[in-house]
Amino acid sequence: MMPVLVGAVAVIYHFPESYDDSSPLILTGALLGDIFSGAVVWWNDTSIQNLNPLTPLPRKKISVIARGDSGGTNLVFTEFMSLYSKRFRESGIGVLGSPNWPRFVRTGDSATEVIYMSSAIDYSITYLENEMVLQAQLLGLHCQVASIVNSNNMGKAQVLDHFCQSWNLFLCLNLSSDIIT
């Protein structure tokens, strides 16, 4: 089935230290599910460090921020995490437009609120529509965009193909601003 609408979702993080934006963090769907379900709570966790061996990661707690409102971005992002993370599937958060986020997850009532929260909260991670990230950058807010690969190291074009061919969704997910091969 061909999607009616294709939108890009970016995973962004905020380290106050100056990190090289030309080498974004590499994360996987499984790791994102583990972070958003609370199974991975430190930035220097070995599962993150193993994907980013040349990046010195801070020993800081991850501040997870999510959309608190109901919408397609939540639905697609939670569905993506549930595909790759058993911990996420078993967490009770759900694959929903309005997920049952755990108490440790900070929520914003809109994409605009989430982008401002992310830029103000050190060591945070969140997800937003790509156009919101671009708007934030135009406003001078610094958004570090993660590169997402799955366990098969598929880059963004292949991941998007997988979603569009496999699901009858009105919004397909493209979690990376860079193709990883």
Using DSSP's 3-state secondary structure scheme, residue 9 falls into strand
Sign of torsion, CA 163 178 128 39? Answer: positive
Using DSSP's 3-state secondary structure scheme, residue 1 falls into coil
CA 136/CA 153 separation, integer angstroms: 29
Judge if pTM exceeds 0.85.
no
Q: What is the pLDDT along the chain (181 residues), one digit of tens a residue?
A: 444 455 678 899 998 876 556 678 999 999 999 999 999 999 999 999 999 998 889 999 999 999 999 988 899 899 999 999 999 999 999 998 899 999 999 999 998 999 999 999 999 999 998 888 888 888 888 778 888 876 655 554 344 444 443 333 333 344 433 333 3
How is the chain split into domains, by residue range?
A: 8-172
CA 82/CA 57 separation, integer angstroms: 26
What CATH number does the domain located at 8-172 have? 3.40.190.10
